Amino acid sequence: MKALVVYDSFFGNTEQIARAVGEALQSAGDVEVRRVTDVTPDQLAGFDLVIVGSPTRAFRPSPNTKAFLDAIPAEGLRGIKVAAFDTRIAPEDVKSGGGVLKFFAKMFGYAADPMAKKLQQKGGTLVAQPEGFYVLDSEGPLRDGELDRAADWARHIAAA
């Protein structure tokens, strides 16, 4: 299996998750982990599995992630397994305004769901539920255990 993990990251947390996912996939085949700005849509052909990860920013994927997903041609992911993850903050970890964030997060959600939807719209076969991994603050760190949870999520995908 040839897998590509594409990520965006401002503070390094999503990159850490992407690398944990990549490492966990290694037992199943060849894996590349690349920043979203270093990948063009024409490079996706030839991969069996493409996983995209983004920080949640204003309830959506980052602008670079959105631009990358939008640039994939219609049917560009036909025959390719796909999955999406984001990083996010749990409202209970927000020091002030957690109630407000909870309210809006309930309405507008997180990045991984629209990313998974877009990957499917481009023809990809979704092989895992979109997943969110938690940071404790905007710049991190990740919550304890999230790298292990990411590796588990990836192993589940490799087995799919």
Amino acid at 26: Q
| Residue selected from 3, 4, 6, 14 as contacting ligand FMN according to rule CB under 6 A | 14
Q: Does 102 bind ligand FMN (CB under 6 A)?
A: no
Q: Which of 49, 61, 85, 87 lies at the binding interface for ligand FMN (CB under 6 A)?
A: 87
Q: Does 138 bind ligand FMN (CB under 6 A)?
A: yes
Decide if residue 89 touches ligand FMN (CB under 6 A): yes
Nearer to ligand FMN, 58 or 74 (CB): 58
Query: What minimum distance in Å lies between the beta carbon of 100 and ligand FMN?
Result: 11
What the block records as the tokens of 111 is: 């990045």
The minimum distance between CB 57 and ligand FMN, in angstroms, equals 4
CA-to-CA distance for 28 and 156, rounded, in angstroms? 11
Quick check: 109 binds ligand FMN (CB under 6 A)?
no
- Amino acid residing at 76: G
Q: Annotate 20-72 with three-state secondary structure.
A: HHHHHHHHHCEEEEEEHHHCCHHHCCCCCEEEEEEECECCECCHHHHHHHHHC
- Listed in sequence order, the residues at least 6 apart from 139 whose beta carbon sits closer than 8 Å to its beta carbon are 11, 13
Among 88, 116, 131, 150, binds ligand FMN (CB under 6 A): 88
Residues contacting residue 149 through CB under 8 Å, at least 6 positions apart: 133
Establish if 118 lies at the interface with ligand FMN (CB under 6 A).
no
Chain residues binding ligand FMN by CB under 6 A are: 9-15, 55-59, 87-89, 110, 135, 138, 140
